[in-house]
Structure 1
């Protein structure tokens, strides 16, 4: 088998039967549930257990990341929302109306990640407006992580069902 055929096998556009797609899906959700508002969750746990300098570092990281997210939304929020809606709509139409499996696969990752981004943005807004500190800040970060994990579980379940359906359908044809 030559190099071209090997690469064609590895970059197969039939996503749901490709191991690389499932690896990307697992990495995406693992990363999303570990980094909450740009802060690694192990740092949140360390700040909760040890306090002191660890907690001050956490508050600084959260403050910087919250300000950054809110600034991006103030400056380019409308354009960003328009571009994301256009991209998601395009993927949905290509994937589910025109039956392009690659677009379906990308949509099934991108749409739930968009929901997680909205949850994170809402948490950033609440942290900024209520100037959360202490236990309230830790609780808000924990809630954000829990919602991210719940969206991830539902997303992986739906993606798995849809992927199995696609693979069975292609196997029958």
Structure 2
């Protein structure tokens, strides 16, 4: 048995039957819903309840991350759109056209996150237009978080159904 064969046996490139893929999926969406426009949700909750320095910190972090997102969007937005489109198209063709399971798995992780990225850019432009404060800011951050969580739920559902279909097909049909 050579080293390459041993590595592929340990890693198991069949993504949907690999525990690490499902852990990565859970961590990805947990992290995405915890960090709302660059601000940790627990800080937003604390600011909503207690105010004070937490309220100031949330407002400053939102301002910093909104400015940062808009800068990246304006400076290299077109290049990012082209690269993300190319990557998603490549993954879709490899995954679903040529039946490469690893590409399918990465596509099912990257596509919804690119939607979340676009949503964050849209929210940043809305924040720049009127720089909300206090309860208005918290309501808008909460709305953004709910949209991210909805995208996450749909993504997890679709990924789970596709993964079960792949595992069933490979198990029953033999590959």
Tell me if both proteins adopt one fold, taking TM over 0.5 as the criterion: yes
Q: Which residue of 1 aligns with 2:169?
A: 169
1:13-32 correspondence to structure 2 within 5 Å: 13-32=13-32
Query: Residues 27-74 of structure 1: CA distance to partner in whole angstroms, max 9, x if unpaired?
Result: 000000000111101010000001011100110000000000000011
In structure 1, list runs of 5 or more residues that go unmatched: none
- For the residues of structure 1 that align with 2:84 and 2:133, how far apart are their CA atoms? 32
Shift in alpha-carbon separation, 1:5–1:97, aligned structure 2, 3 A: closer
- For the residues of structure 1 that align with 2:148 and 2:56, how far apart are their CA atoms? 24
**When the two structures are superposed, what TM-score results if normalisation uses the length of structure 2?**
0.94
- For the residues of structure 2 that align with 1:160 and 1:88, how far apart are their CA atoms? 19
- For the residue of structure 1 that corresponds to 2:12, the secondary structure is coil
- For the residues of structure 1 that align with 2:54 and 2:74, how far apart are their CA atoms? 30
- For the residues of structure 2 that align with 1:10 and 1:36, how far apart are their CA atoms? 36
Q: Which residue of 1 aligns with 2:126?
A: 126
Q: Which residue of 2 aligns with 1:114?
A: 114
Deviation (angstroms), 1:5: 5.7
Q: Which residue of 2 aligns with 1:86?
A: 86
- For the residues of structure 1 that align with 2:42 and 2:138, how far apart are their CA atoms? 12
- For the residues of structure 1 that align with 2:143 and 2:122, how far apart are their CA atoms? 12
Deviation (angstroms), 1:124: 1.0
Query: Residues 3-46 of structure 1: CA distance to partner in whole angstroms, max 9, x if unpaired?
Result: 76653233211000000100100000000000011110101000
Query: Residues 97-117 of structure 1: CA distance to partner in whole angstroms, max 9, x if unpaired?
Result: 110000000000000011111
- For the residue of structure 2 that corresponds to 1:169, the secondary structure is helix
Shift in alpha-carbon separation, 1:111–1:43, aligned structure 2, 3 A: same
- For the residues of structure 2 that align with 1:169 and 1:41, how far apart are their CA atoms? 40
- For the residues of structure 1 that align with 2:62 and 2:2, how far apart are their CA atoms? 50
1:7-156 correspondence to structure 2 within 5 Å: 7-156=7-156
Q: CA RMSD in A?
A: 1.5
